[in-house]
Amino acid sequence: MPELALHDTRLGAKTPLVPRDPSRVGIYTCGPTVYGRAHVGNARHYVVFSLLKRFLSHQGYTVTLVSNLTDINDKIYAAARAANIPSARLAEEMSAAYVADTDALGLGRPDHEPTATGAMGEIIELITTLIDGGHAYVADGDVYFSVGSYPRYGELSHRRLEDMDQGEGGEGVARKREPADFALWKATKVGEDTAWDAPWGRGRPGWHIECSAMAESLLGMGFEIHGGGSDLIFPHHENEAAQSGAAHGGDLARLWVHVGMVRTAAEKMSKSLANTFLLHEAVAAHGRDALILYFVARHYRQPVEWSDALMAEARENVRRLREAGRRLHSGPSPDWSGPLRDRFLAALADDFNTPGALAMIWEWVREANRSDGPVGSDDLTEMLGLLGLENLLVTEPAVLPSAVDEIVAAREQARTQRDWAEADRLRAAARALGWEIRDGADGPHVAPLT
């Protein structure tokens, strides 16, 4: 088994994965703030860590993947006011939409998907520990972390203290002891319709403390991999590391692994910049397989551009792989296949190099095309599965039930009219009948649910 190494942001280098328990790996990733539908940038993070779990499981580890949902936030309050609905209702609706949108990727769910509202007890307990330890202070109902009390502050993001803008604007500046201190708890303000009781006053948690509390409660201190988008290195992950380290000593996580941004016109894709391509629209327009292939064709640490041309390329590559798969048969692979499989696994072990692994799949296809006789595809099936592309070798039934056939036809009409909500509804209707519709470059493909 090749030794797995990942790029650790804190050390700035590829670092071997050394689990606390040799057979177990814990992964915590910061999920979205649920004030709107998930976009393609959210999907990249979801795909990378879902596939990393697959690979680690394949290598013999028992993996626990935790991905949170931030359901308390200033952005949620603002979006709820604009929609004239309670913030809790908006968060609940958008959380359900996120689950549905990421379910369409067909990669399974994380083992735990905690929410800030569901972890309020753990959050208050952690803040209490920080206050009691002299690392946090109460100011007019707010609670702030004292950055000066933690000498290791800055070692994750490698920033100087004077360059650390917490992104809180002018909020609380008069109550802070130092400008770099950041909020652990915020007293209730006018227009905020949710609040919780705490020993220092009624309010709600700051953004950073919730992830420390959820990660600690589900994985403990010193778990193996903390992940997220590269835009979270500072202040979010720097503050997480400081909070947990100050409260308990030691490190929250052994490796900090960050995924590059999806960009449009060289800017990161985000809801706040209004330059997003929504995930459910991307799946409907390009197909689940093309979207995943688009992601794995690029190294997770690098930023990627989002464009119609790149998605057209991904759809064409899906077509090529599916066409190659139709000429193969299940069964033992030929002798030349093993070395390619070994190089595929070695690429994934080397900082989860999915482009390098994908290159071995294309080499496998070229070798198969040069073969005179039938070629068994067991190794290819295994490799595609580790990249989330197992659908490309699914054999479709010759005849569909008439009800499913009608749903497929109606859904294609809805997609032509760009009625994504109706397309999603029809996909769900097919699933209820036991069939999965997968969109491809050459049209929809239908297979029974397994």
User: Looking at per-residue confidence, does 61 or 442 come out higher?
Assistant: 61
DSSP secondary-structure letter at 190? T
DSSP secondary-structure letter at 261? P
- The pLDDT-based confidence of 275 (bands split at 50, 70, 90) is low
Reported as a single tens digit per residue, the pLDDT across 230-267 is 999 999 999 999 999 999 999 999 999 999 999 987 66
- The pLDDT-based confidence of 177 (bands split at 50, 70, 90) is very high
- The pLDDT-based confidence of 293 (bands split at 50, 70, 90) is very high
Sign of the four-CA dihedral 374, 380, 385, 391: negative
**With 70 as the cut, is the pLDDT of residue 442 above it?**
no
**With 60 as the cut, is the pLDDT of residue 382 above it?**
yes
pTM exceeds 0.75: yes
**With 60 as the cut, is the pLDDT of residue 398 above it?**
no
Tell me which residue of 317, 320, 344 sits closest to 333, measured CA to CA.
Answer: 344
**With 70 as the cut, is the pLDDT of residue 274 above it?**
no
- The pLDDT-based confidence of 399 (bands split at 50, 70, 90) is low
Tell me which residue of 192, 229, 197 sits closest to 9, measured CA to CA.
Answer: 229
Rounded Cα–Cα distance for residues 82 and 35 (Å): 11
- The pLDDT-based confidence of 79 (bands split at 50, 70, 90) is very high
**With 90 as the cut, is the pLDDT of residue 161 above it?**
no
Q: What is the mean pLDDT of residues 146-166?
A: 86
Rounded Cα–Cα distance for residues 80 and 86 (Å): 6
For the chain, give the mean pLDDT.
91
Q: What is the mean pLDDT of residues 20-28?
A: 97
What per-residue confidence (pLDDT) applies to 1?
A: 63
For 361-385, the DSSP string reads HHHHHHHHHH-SS--B-HHHHHHHH
Counting every residue written for the chain, the total comes to 450
For 294-356, the DSSP string reads HHHTS-TTS-EE--HHHHHHHHHHHHHHHHHHHT-BSSPPPTTHHHHHHHHHHHHHBT--HHH
Burial 274-298 (b: 16+ CB within 10 A, else e): ebbbbbbbbbbbbbbbbbbbbbbbb
